A and B are shown apart, each in its own frame.
Chain A
């Protein structure tokens, strides 16, 4: 646990002590004011109820402290002689001891019950983690082994049939290996990014970023002009934004790549950039088939993939994009209409610079 968590826990415990003591004291004061109306036995029962409630809500130590305080208050202000800690008759002694005993046992038992509950919860959590881990392993071994199998298989073919194989087939095998290696590399990159997000080691390197240039760069690198029409209408007045350009490149790449992957060939993908005083807006709109209602909320889940999706893909791309945008303090929203298409909207709060080159006086 980090030191911050520790100190938060400490102040929380202090608060529990304080609330416990105060509520018991306040209750005693109230009972004392109504002293003529209620008997000290009734006060003992009321205090017991208060301690029981505290036991359900708080940790063992603050509750025990409250129980002890209530016993002392009971003794001084409600059991004869008042106000004095001495108790004279046996019945009162018995009442005091029984009160102290019940209050303490109450505190201890409730605490034990709670601990047990926590243990069960922890175990369930652990099981969930293991489940997630297994999903990860399954997804991973498939995603990593498929391209590896392609590479090894192609190599074997090339080696064994060295001279007999036609040069066309040779080229085909080689380009299969190329595709597989690129895929493998992308997966490794995804996993590294995911682990940076999960372990909280992600540090933003914000610097002035020309978002239009970045979008053009991403589009250029995706090489998708044969299969899809990518249209980008840059807002020429867009200022520079202080962003982590490396992470933003991944965000744009993952969302656009996703749009390419899940829309039919020759679909159109529109990218637009916009801004207001405080935020940068980027929207990626496709005219594909849309995402069915039940799935739409799950697209950002780790390892989640649409049921009809073909081969390839680890289900990490969008969740990494979302993580990186959130690291900037922004949000990604998705809207989808069946048979009409899907729009992803990225909104990021960022410092802007309107510096123009007019400053360069001749």
Chain B
């Protein structure tokens, strides 16, 4: 990317917008702001930002509606800001195409990291064959997973699950999404499969499966590979 990446903030709280602006501008982003859903949609269309930070609680229309309208034409990163840990809300937004989420109050460091990873997701694409994360390498072309250079023995289901998580590195994938993609639509509610296989994968991938560094649990929402 040659010019500064543009970020659009859609949030009705002036204090949050100010805080975000100071931090994002300081990190070299070009910051645009909108205080309502309607304004946000207009500015998204006129500025074509690289990423949008969208608050779910807007005065004029719900953040979900803004997201739905955005996703009709906007395919770049959308990161959700939500006031409290309302998992239903977050899962809904992620299933409707949000790339990631943060709950207020959030830590600025975390926000910047999530934003970076969401914008990176714009550039990469599903074509990437080799995904690296620390000591792990997932080679989608050869269907191989290596840990510190050694090939790991994974079952077919473990591999499908890991490949899906890895090709969405940095993104939260919801329980329902993972179950649907790996096991099939009729397994969407069978979260016990997911728990068991994630535990198995962690035993093979992680140094300490109880303190996972690669497959991170997002309580009540899903999993994230990093």
Contact = CB atoms under 8 A, between A and B. Distances in A.
Instruction: Indicate, yes or no, whether A interacts with B.
Output: yes
Interface of A: 181, 185, 192, 205, 207-210, 212-213, 216-217, 220, 234, 240, 245-246, 249, 353, 355-357, 360, 362
B96 interface: no
B85 A240 contact: no
A325 B193 CA distance: 25
Q: Which 10 A-B pairs have the closest CB atoms?
A: A208-B192, A216-B210, A353-B192, A360-B155, A360-B157, A357-B200, A208-B191, A210-B195, A246-B220, A355-B192
B155 A357 contact: yes
Interface residues of B, number: 22
Contacts of A213: 199, 210, 217
9 contacts: A205-B87, A207-B191, A208-B191, A213-B210, A246-B87, A353-B192, A355-B193, A355-B196, A357-B196
B201 to A, nearest CB: 9
A240 B210 contact: no
Contacts of A220: 211
A208 B196 CA distance: 10
Given A185-B105, A208-B195, A362-B155, A217 B84 contact: no
A246 B219 contact: yes
A328 to B, nearest CB: 15
A234 B203 CA distance: 15
B220 A205 contact: yes
Contact of B156 (A207, A208, A246, A360): A360
B158 interface: yes
B9 to A, nearest CB: 21
Contacts of B220: 205, 207, 245-246
A356 B210 contact: no
B197 interface: yes
Nearest to A216: B210
A14 to B, nearest CB: 42
A216 B195 CA distance: 15
Task: Pick from A181, A208, A356 the residue with the most CB of B within 10 Å.
Answer: A208
B196 A181 contact: no
B192 A245 contact: no
Contacts of A185: 105
Nearest to A361: B155
A353 B189 CA distance: 14
A192 B84 contact: yes
A209 B200 CA distance: 15
A293 B9 CA distance: 56
A351 to B, nearest CB: 10
Interface in B156-184: 156-158, 175
Given A207-B191, A245-B219, A216 B211 contact: yes
Contacts of A362: 155-156
A193 B158 CA distance: 37
Given A245-B219, A246-B87, 9 more contacts: A181-B105, A185-B105, A205-B220, A207-B191, A207-B220, A213-B210, A240-B196, A353-B192, A355-B196
Contacts of A356: 196
Contact of A240 (B156, B195, B200): B195
Contacts of A207: 175, 191, 220
Nearest to B191: A208
A213 B219 CA distance: 11
A360 B158 CA distance: 9
B12 to A, nearest CB: 19
A234 B157 contact: no
A212 B84 CA distance: 25
Contact of B199 (A210, A249, A353, A360): A210
Contacts of B211: 216, 220
B143 to A, nearest CB: 14
Contacts of B219: 217, 245-246, 249
A45 B224 CA distance: 82
B200 A217 contact: no
A185 B103 CA distance: 12
